[in-house]
Amino acid sequence: MTLEELFDICQDLELRQAKLYASFALLLGDVDERIARFWERMSTEEWQHYILVDFGRALCVEAFGIDTPISAGNTEKSSSPIAPLPDISIQEIIDALNAHESKVESGKISLDEAFAIAIAIEGSEADTIYMYLLSIIRKAIQKSNQPYLMNRIVQVERDMVSHVDGLVRATQRFSKDVSLIRKAHRLKEEHG
């Protein structure tokens, strides 16, 4: 896999997640205006991730070249200036997202089902890809000698925690499913 392919995959995932959350706002917004605003905010934050990935791509192209190979998992020493991608299954991430989209496209989704999907998405390895690319973007910033850009990456990392916190708070506020609320709290602990 190349750096370009990984950026493409990550952008596709972020865009699809943004669209799912926007769909939740449309499908469930008539339940309560606060619910509609929450899903709209989640969608907007995913769009911001998409834009950041595009910005990072430009930095990485300059620093490393877009065709830089990325090795997967714990491979032997590589000539690549980029650390190996953690051992994850991109196909499993895509398959899960396809299943979530199919469920939403049916138009029959409850608020608790939407929260369950969001918790699954935010706890998936898609987040691992995003955070991995942030680490590469950090290296590109250092290599390009543009340290003032590092503050943006630090803010993005804070925003990721806030994004999950918002999901946990909304699940607590609007769901009556205790097991779902527990899952949301476990997600928060993992992102702590």
Q: Which residues of 20-32 are buried (b: 16+ CB within 10 A; e: fewer)?
A: bbbbbbebbbeee
- Sign of torsion over alpha carbons 128, 101, 42, 11: positive
Interval 123-141 mean pLDDT: 88
Name the pTM for this structure. Answer: 0.89
Total domain count, the chain: 1
The confidence score (pLDDT) of residue 88 equals 87
The confidence score (pLDDT) of residue 75 equals 47
Q: Answer for the pair 167, 183: CB distance below 8 angstroms, yes or no.
A: no
Phi, psi values for residue 72, rounded to 5°:
-105, 145
Percent of the chain with pLDDT over 70: 94
In 3D space, the residue among 105, 128, 94, 111 whose CA is nearest the CA of residue 180 turns out to be 111
If one compares 6 and 148, the residue with the highest pLDDT of the two is 6
pLDDT tens for 44-91 read: 999 988 988 888 898 898 999 888 898 876 544 555 678 888 888 899
Q: Answer for the pair 46, 21: CB distance below 8 angstroms, yes or no.
A: yes
The confidence score (pLDDT) of residue 77 equals 52
* Confidence at 162, pLDDT banded by 50, 70, 90: confident
Tokens of 87: 């051992």
Least confident of 14-23, 32-41, 51-60: 51-60
Interval 129-150 mean pLDDT: 87
**Range of the structural domain that residue 185 is part of:** 3-191
Q: Answer for the pair 18, 98: CB distance below 8 angstroms, yes or no.
A: no
